[in-house]
Amino acid sequence: MQNRLLNFCFLCAIAFSFINCANRGNITGGEKDITPPKITKTFPKNYSTNFNSKEIRIYFDEYIKIKNLSKQLIISPPMDITPEITPLGSSSDYIKIKIFDTLKPNTTYAFNFGNSIVDNNEENPYTYYKYVFSTGDYIDSLKVKGKVMDALNRTTDPFISVNLYEVDSTYTDSVVYKKNPKYVTNTLDSTTNFTLENLKAGTYKLLALKDNNSNNKFDQKTDKIGFHEEYITVSTDSSAFYELKLFKEEINYKAYKPKLVSGEKIAFGFEGKDYKNISIDLLSDVPADYTSSYFKDQATDSLNYFYKPKLEVDSLVFKVSYKTKIDTFTVRIKDNKKDSLLLKATPNSNIDFIETLKISANIPITKFDKNQISIMDKDSTDVAFTTKLDTFQNTIEVLFDKKEDNKYKVRLLPNAVTDFFDNTNDTLNFNLSTVKASSLGNVRVNIKNGVYPLIVQLVDDKNEVKYEKYTTKPEPLDFFLVKPNKYYIRAIFDTNKNKTYDTGVYLTATKPERVSYSDKPIEVRVGWDLIEEFILK
């Protein structure tokens, strides 16, 4: 009995000891796995020659999965029929590549997986794995190196495709719209440098694409493009380093079929920036008192066309012209309700000292009476102003001097604005205010190595222009009443002297205008006056 009691006490003591140990800390499960997966074998072997297989298997020492394959994987040269690669959405201890395309003879192919291969548990990446094979007797081993930059913005987009097109008897510059490149690589998301590898000696066209459609072809609507002016020669003694600047082309003009959107209002959709040179002419027979007016819609790429009087017809035929391009459209006419006149002020609360008040209408403004418009400050003092009608934007621009820490009431009395249908406005009040000048800062920019004229801007970290000056000679540029923030100074070399940035055009080999940024941002603080030296490069 005594022995049993002693055994029981002994067991309780051991249990109590374990409980105390458990209370002192938690079991961690060991150190976190930071080791990437390893390849144990490949079939066929990596860097095989005389390759004729339709399936590739890459085996690992642990279960792996594939992430972001559509962005990470680069197949060079691209295949017309996309290979099937597994696993996708699951894990496996091997990657299987099924090839459906007919491989070209005597060609070196490379599958570059980027950072898409990770282990199943901790997602440690097997970085930049590349599987290479040749359908010929040897592996091509030449390289082309370079760097991609954005022509306008301070930062460059990630995942830029860099393409080589073989310059042979069939080559034309338009091949970038229609066919896959001979070779392709990607800058991925961590660097703007690139290396095209496993190349065959020859002459090529080198360009870069922000390929938003992932189809290895240039789409002007969605993609940025950059190119090297001359053809490049790839050879064993080539050591050149190429810089490509990406730019977004202006979209070429295109007219879309117009449609009736409300009573006596037709929307003419278009693509392109130069809407001021689009003309709309009616070809149908109409009464002698027929008249029309149109302006650019503020929210969409369309021209809002208004006509009167109301026509009892089934359709109208229009000619839409832009330079030498002419389109003819038929618009079905229905008995729709007409729009009512609406006026909107921009801005509608706080206004900057250099900002212009714009009053826009949804129906063409045919006339306005300045005497029916007034501006009064917070002391009930009348403020002098001038006005201007912008018929292309269908806005009344109201310009007046603004004082700090002030409030302004802009009043439009009845009949201040008359629209195309002879409607007029009711009484409207718009309230605006300014901040204290002491809450802002001032910046003086002294430019070195300037080539004039220049557009000099202060841009934020999102590349958005906040302040701008135009200069034609060496002089200090003063930016007064700047909101506190960090800004980069940007200079645009206005080569054609049109006071705006001009982008490039690939087919005409036109490069975008040169742009230079300050190396570091400037910080504008409350009440500070900064003097910055900007050395152009």
Q: Nearest 10 degrees: CA dihedral of 493, 499, 501, 503?
A: -100
Q: What is the model's pLDDT at position 384?
A: 97
Model confidence pLDDT, tens digit, residues 249-261: 999 999 999 999 9
440 forms beta bridges with: none
530 forms beta bridges with: 443
Model confidence pLDDT, tens digit, residues 236-289: 877 899 999 999 999 999 999 999 999 999 999 999 999 999 999 999 999 999
Half-sphere exposure of 211 (CA within 13 A, CB side): 26
Query: For residue 31, what are its two tokens?
Result: 């150190």
Q: What is the DSSP letter of 177?
A: H
Cα dist from 157 to 150, 444, 505, whole Å: 8, 31, 19
Amino acid letter for position 140:
D
Pick the CATH number of 438-535 from 1.10.1060.10, 1.10.101.10, 2.60.40.1120, 2.40.50.140: 2.60.40.1120
Q: Which CATH architecture has domain 254-332?
A: Sandwich (2.60)
Q: What is the DSSP letter of 411?
A: E
Model confidence pLDDT, tens digit, residues 302-324: 999 999 999 999 999 999 999 99
Secondary structure E strands in 283-420? 291-296, 302-308, 315-322, 325-332, 343-346, 357-361, 365-368, 373-377, 386-390, 395-399, 407-412, 417-419
Secondary structure E strands in 100-229? 108-112, 117-119, 125-126, 130-134, 142-150, 161-166, 183-186, 193-199, 202-210, 224-227
Q: CATH number of the domain at 343-435, please?
A: 2.60.40.1220
Residues 213/193, Cβ–Cβ less than 8 Å: no
Half-sphere exposure of 18 (CA within 13 A, CB side): 6
Regarding the domain delimited by 39-134, which CATH topology (the fold level of the hierarchy) does it fall under? Immunoglobulin-like (2.60.40)
* Buried b or exposed e, range 165-174, using 16+ CB within 10 angstroms: bbbeeeeeee
Which of 451, 437, 447 has its CA nearest to residue 405? Answer: 437
pLDDT < 50 positions in the chain: 1-6, 8-27
- Are 254-332 and 343-435 the same fold in CATH? yes
Q: What is the DSSP letter of 182?
A: S
Burial class of residue 420, CB neighbours in 10 A (0-12, 13-18, 19+): buried
Which of 486, 478, 475 has its CA nearest to residue 447? Answer: 475
Secondary structure E strands in 211-324? 224-227, 232-234, 241-246, 254-255, 259-262, 265-271, 278-282, 291-296, 302-308, 315-322
Q: Nearest 10 degrees: CA dihedral of 445, 455, 484, 442?
A: 40
Please tell me the distance from the alpha carbon of residue 251 to that of residue 253, in angstroms, as a whole number.
6
Q: Residue 12: in which H helix or E strand, if any? A: helix 2-24
CB atoms within 10 A of CB 161: 22
Q: What is the model's pLDDT at position 89?
A: 81
Q: What is the model's pLDDT at position 17?
A: 47
Whether the upstream peptide bond of residue 309 has omega within 30° of 0, thus cis, is: yes
Please tell me the distance from the alpha carbon of residue 481 to that of residue 490, in angstroms, as a whole number.
18
Instruction: Concatenate the DSSP letters of all residues of 46-88 into one string.
Output: TTBSS---SEEEEEEEEEEEE-SHHHH-EEESPPSSPPEEE-S
Pick the CATH number of 142-246 from 3.30.1380, 2.60.40, 2.60.120, 1.25.40: 2.60.40
Beta-carbon contacts of 477 under 8 Å, excluding residues fewer than 6 positions away, are: 444, 445, 446, 447, 456, 469, 471
Cα dist from 227 to 207, 233, 291, 321, 495, whole Å: 4, 15, 49, 32, 20
Please tell me the distance from the alpha carbon of residue 141 to that of residue 185, in angstroms, as a whole number.
15
Cα dist from 423 to 199, 412, 426, whole Å: 70, 14, 10
Cα dist from 46 to 32, 40, 49, 134, 197, whole Å: 31, 12, 9, 10, 15
Q: What is the model's pLDDT at position 30?
A: 53
CA angle centred on 530, ends 525 and 531, rounded to 5° = 165
- Please state the domain extents for the chain: 39-134, 142-246, 254-332, 343-435, 438-535
